[in-house]
Structure 1
Amino acid sequence: MTAETGTRTSPDRYISRRMQAVPPSGIRRFFDLLSTIEDVISLGVGEPDYVTPEPFRRAAIASIERGDTHYTSNYGLLELRERLATHIERLYGVRYDPRSEIVVTSGSSEGLDIAMRALIDPGDEVLCADPSYVAYMPVTVMAGGVFVPVPTRQEDDFRLLPGPLEAAVTPRSRVLLLGYPANPTGATMSREDLAAVADIAERYDLAVISDELYDRMTYEGEHTCFASLPGMRERTVLLGGFSKAYAMTGWRLGWVAAPAPIAEALMKVHQYVMMSAPTASQYAAIAALDEGEAFVAEMVAEYNRRRRLIVDGFRAVGLPTFEPRGAFYAFPDIRVTGLTSLEFSELLLTEERVAVVPGSAFGACGEGHVRACYASSFEQIERALERIGRFVQRHRAE
């Protein structure tokens, strides 16, 4: 009760309007729900089923045993940043100064957060494909920005096309947020696709945050780094990390590369929020860059095998599924059942004990689809497809 009125108050009255506008993650809701049900096959959370390779683990253990348990530079270990600079240049031909243009972060999620807070002011608009990763809108709102979804369509393989993008630009547009290969759709963008987007970014003087966490998981064609396009390096914040390609989700390690003035602004946010990324994780990442290529190739080849299984399997049970060319997600069209994506996901979980994520969790254009992660074992996917086949047969709309 308050001292003056004697009336009871609710704690939620103290929560900022900005945070009240942030919805809970649709992915985590299903993750929490499936933990209460036995014999669940999860195609829900986007996490590799691989254990972090042994050489990476040994490097972290060795660093702890040496007593390297203190803070690193705010920017991260210089040794790691030097390897990252070499890695990015070798893959994509873009050179960053390891001393002033790379910041090591606690996961690419932190990289996204500090990029938003460094680039936008309250009311600035952030343009982004719809559907898109669930964190993009909340992080924009938490930074004080306005999230502007740009529709994409299954008929266009969920690529961000220049027409809808340019139509969404207003005088308040400040940042273009890209995420390719895409979560949740598995969509990729060709160099020609990205060049058309780059032209719009240049004409409207947009900063670009390019989340390329799934760059190594490109199964058809080659991944194009957005910063490698003519004129784009100076306006682009490039996000990457170790979680997916190196099976290091729990190590919480990512990186951001950007021109020095932008990197300095990012580091300001990072140093006050995080100080520095976990030290042992940074040593594991050095080992990953030094010794990890064979592991990455092996994992990507296996994901590609699972990709073919799940896409062909969805099509065989009557769910139209476009060809995902990157990441490790399939995005089947479930409208033949007459169910919403939320209804489909909830009923599939309770009736057949298979967890997927409703497409509506990723934006309005995700409705009519569900996201299925194929970073599960081949055998688990086969069993899940059997159960989904039974479910679709029962619920097919007449």
Structure 2
Amino acid sequence: MTDLTTLPDEGTRPAAEATPAWLKEGAGQGIRSLRARRQADPNYGGRLVEAARLYQRACHGDRRALIDFEEAMTTSDFGLLFADILDKQLLGAYQDWPSTWQMYTRRGTVRDFRPVKRFALDGAASTLDEVPERGEYPEAALIASEYEYRVTKRGRRLDWTWEMRVNDDLDAFRELPIILGRAAKMTEDKFVTGLYASASGPNSTFFSAGHGNVVTGNPALSVEALEVAMTVLASQRDSDGNPIFIDNLVLVVPPALEVVANNILNAVQIDAATGGGDGTGHNQLRVNNWLARRVSVVVNPWLPIVSATANGNTSWYLIAQTMAGRPAMEVGFLRGYEQPQVFVKAPDSLRVGGGMAAVEDGDFETDAIRHKVRHVLGGVLMDYKMAVASNGTGTP
């Protein structure tokens, strides 16, 4: 189980080093959106650390700490502290869950839910013309490509009961943020995969003969096929007919091709029949594996799920890394809400002796306790010249 106090916004710290400065760091938003007041309160950080340590001891089976924790939950101040603790756990689980789409997808932010436009300029990058004395400088045309997308809300609600909380001795509390954080990260992964992959393999609108970004013959992944893919990608030209320089590439494969991909890129040497050999083992070139310096492997477990109809285990993609300046795709997040948020339904009952009931007592009718997570994102495919794909079937 993940330790609560190893889930700060940046880096990790053991429980003994959980300082007010760390717990007051402000990525994401608290359940009750009171961050400004908390930041201004010099005592809030110390109380938050104290609450975190009490919660940690209760989760580890300290019965006295559990009793103190349940008694503390009847106070409104501790409820606010505990809300921030859950928020930190959610954010930590979200950040710790492995994800690699950022290696080949540009990350952006948008202001609201309305469609947002992205523009890419091409042209005017060809070699400069010679200008004679007193001659007029020639004018070049810029070609603008326009892309549009909008972000949408994603979320889930979890209902559980007061009896479950009592029986589990806080295990449900401890698991809830982790489950929701992982769900948010997996939502991103599946969404990005669905941009460039379809039910039957590579997205045929983006990867097409017209775009010139399909590996010739759709070969299965091999050294020779990777060579063809790199040649196809290098043959792309900008609107002026100039070459497009790409330093680093990402090879995206399903789990079924993980061994093949890593064997290719981690081989110490490659015996090449081309460039002087005859293909029968005579006069072959033996070269150091320079591909490992140009290509990184990303194993995407969502590929066989998204491409469930056909070719999910054979399709592979070669995509330029985002620093190339012409992204193949972009994923955008709503400004101020770039990370998932967790919410808890406020109690709707009063104690007979006075005061609001604790959230953990559940609602008035059924003792149900309700949490939800919200995540906002969207995206679009952009420059087809920065990616090439093969469905791996060997069929053109």
Same fold per TM (> 0.5)? Answer: no
- Provide TM-score, normalisation by structure 1: 0.24
More helix by share: 1
User: TM-score by structure 2 length?
Assistant: 0.24
**Which one has a larger percent strand, Structure 1 or Structure 2?**
2
Q: Which has the larger radius of gyration?
A: 2
